[in-house]
Structure 1
Amino acid sequence: MKLHRVNAVIARHVYESRRNFDRVVDTLWWPVLDIVMWGFFSIYLTHGKGLQPSFISMMLGAAILWTMFYSFQRDMAVAFIDDLWCRNLINLFSTPLMLSEYMTGIIVVCILKVTIGLTAASAIAWAAWSFNVLPWLPKFVPYIANLLIFSLAVGIAITGMVFRYSTKVQALAWGFAGLLMPVSCIFYPVSSLPNWLQDIAWMMPMAHSFEGMRQVLAGKGFSPLHFWWGAGLNAVYFTASILFFGWIFEKARSRGLLVKQE
């Protein structure tokens, strides 16, 4: 792996983001809009409902972490789809650029975008509702790491699907995370689900991360149990996504599909 080729992939997406309003909207507008919407919704629920003020913190914290997960997973897949839309994929892989260098560059770009969006959302939460995420951040970091690893695994799997089936399945880049929302328990505890659905939820690293986040905000401290369960599940899902991506990429290349992508 050559660092200068990774830097070239990063520069390509940075230049494109600076002049593409869609990328600005994805990076800043939607994270901020999510925080504003859930913030007002939380205020509405607390008025006359007998709910504790910490409820607002839990809702805003969940919204920030969910936005981070969704943005990272979406940007992973969309970065690749962009190269399909502009018919640039064959140009990239006709150079000495390795697949690992290409994916590493995209991951770095996604981390930069998520950091910008997370900073903007946290600033709005602090300015509008006095929710300062910084004191909680040290205890959130392990859960954030689990969320990022799982979103990376999902993004890699979706990118592999796009490699194989082209833009016919591009809707997965925006919609797949939504399929996971009911069992991710973002804004409610796992115990609120039906018994049969709770078993599925506990198989999601996201559910463990959000349960751990709520425990921290409730003043019960960091939960090693939720962290290690999430980390163990991530090890399984991430390994499976890498194997799946390698298999489907080789299958697409052996069939000559890389030059036929639309």
Structure 2
Amino acid sequence: MLSIAFLEDIWSSNLLSVPVSPLSGAEYLIGLVLFSLGKVVFAVAVMVGLAFVLYGFGVTSLGVGLVPFMGVPPAPLQAAAWLLPASHVFEGMRTVMAGGAVPWDRLAWAGGLNVVYLAGTLGLFAWALRYTRRRGKLSRFGD
């Protein structure tokens, strides 16, 4: 969702105003994240509501068989899948849906991976913004 919002800013030439605006890179990014998060929450709420009203389908009625099992892919893909936070969340969902307790260690791993990936992304964004401001490349982006 963030990448689409970023592309919308590029296509509408809003991004070209960031280097000359009083906004810092952090303020721009926080606004972008909050706006994108609001769009996601709204879209999910509408879809869940429509699924319930039109089809009588509740999200909590999903069965354990619909959640992917990490033991299915080949070993190299399993190792790569554990680097994705969603894999830890899905395995935790499988445990809970099978009647087990919430595996907090899985959720902690997912949260930790999200923090690491977010920090890396923010660092890359900050570096790219500094780079483009120093070299004046962003102001010529649309030309």
Q: TM-score range by the shorter chain?
A: 0.7 to 0.9
1:202 Cα offset (Å): 0.9
Q: 1:149-202 CA deviation, whole Å, 9 max, x = no partner?
A: xxxxxxxxxxxxxxxxxxxxxxxxxxxxxxxxxxxxx84211111012111111
SS at structure 1 position matched to 2:21: coil
The match for 2:122 is 242
Higher helix share: 1
Q: Bigger radius of gyration, 1 or 2?
A: 2
1:258 Cα offset (Å): 1.2
User: Runs of 5+ in structure 2 lacking a partner?
Assistant: none
Q: Which runs of 4+ in 1 moved over 6 A?
A: none
Change over 3 Å in CA distance of 1:120–1:218 after alignment to 2: farther
Change over 3 Å in CA distance of 1:236–1:91 after alignment to 2: closer
- Count of matched residue pairs: 138
Change over 3 Å in CA distance of 1:104–1:223 after alignment to 2: same
User: Runs of 5+ in structure 1 lacking a partner?
Assistant: 1-74, 136-185
**1:180-259 aligned within 5 A:** 187-259=67-139
Tell me how far apart the structure 1 counterparts of residues 78 and 46 of structure 2 sit (CA, whole Å).
33
User: TM-score, with normalisation over the residues of structure 2?
Assistant: 0.82
Tell me how far apart the structure 2 counterparts of residues 234 and 248 of structure 1 sit (CA, whole Å).
21
User: TM-score, with normalisation over the residues of structure 1?
Assistant: 0.48
Give the AA of the match of 2:42.
I
The match for 2:15 is 89
Q: Higher RCO, 1 or 2 (CA under 8 Å, sep at least 6)? A: 1
Change over 3 Å in CA distance of 1:196–1:224 after alignment to 2: same
Question: RMSD in angstroms over aligned alpha carbons?
Answer: 2.3
